[in-house]
Amino acid sequence: MIAKRDGREIPKHIAVIMDGNGRWAKKQGAMRIFGHRSGVQAVRDITEGCAELGVDHLTLYAFSTENWSRPQKEVDGLMNLLIKTINSELPTLMKNKVRLTAIGDLQGLATGVYKKLSLAIDETKLNKGLNLILALNYSGKWDLTQAFKVICGEAIKGTIKPEAIDEDLVSNYLSTKGIPDPELLIRTSGEMRISNFLLWQSAYSEFFFTEVLWPDFRKKHLNLAIDSFNDRERRFGKTSEQLDFQ
């Protein structure tokens, strides 16, 4: 069951597409990387807010497989910012018992980034609080493709029978294995698409789109998203009448 707090249902898993850093920087007359740096405060605020509300998992779309096509200077800046942020935030994660994990093609990250990320994941692995999941070098299509490759390999070897392949089996080969699907998916900046993020996992997510640019996103906006989530009727293919009789 979804936990309740202050009379509201609190999603176990919230996923966020952190969009609008570049536009925010442009409004300030600054370089795009300035927007990414300013977005770190939003990450702090929302991580803290989710921990306070009792959210179990928070997934942040930090860097997609498509983001490599951005100007090299911006990509380098993002990777350097990631290392710097991990260094600066690790003591706070430990203090607040936040466990850091990551999904995506992590081996495709720069060596320095991968090592720093791996060390932080290892250091926080025993923390029992919020599970903060960074989606890095990630895309939903990549996730499904890598799962299907492994499943096909197992089928060829005979360890998986084709007739045994069902939704639960596919889920167990995704990078989110063991993590419940997000009940709420938030996207900032006014764009109304999911941009190749958690395609399988978000099949029944409630979407919340806001015009707020990511660097300006705070706990009050998170609470608005959760209020909106509470206003939805989640039927999962059933009718309203069926839900009334449950």
Which pLDDT belongs to residue 236? Answer: 56
Which pLDDT belongs to residue 244? Answer: 57
Which pLDDT belongs to residue 237? Answer: 62
State how far Cα 142 lies from the chain centre.
Answer: 15
Task: Tell me the pTM.
Answer: 0.93
Give backbone dihedrals phi and psi of 176, rounded to 5 degrees, phi first. -95, 20
Cα separation values, 52 from 23, 32, 56, 98, 110, Å: 30, 31, 10, 11, 33
Give the C-alpha separation, 108 to 86, whole Å: 18
Active site residues: 19, 67
Give the C-alpha separation, 159 to 150, whole Å: 11
Closest to 3 (Cα-Cα) out of 52, 59, 60: 52
Mean pLDDT per 10-residue interval, the chain, length 246 residues: 76 98 96 96 97 97 97 96 96 97 96 96 98 98 98 97 96 98 98 98 98 98 97 69 55
Give the C-alpha separation, 224 to 74, whole Å: 32
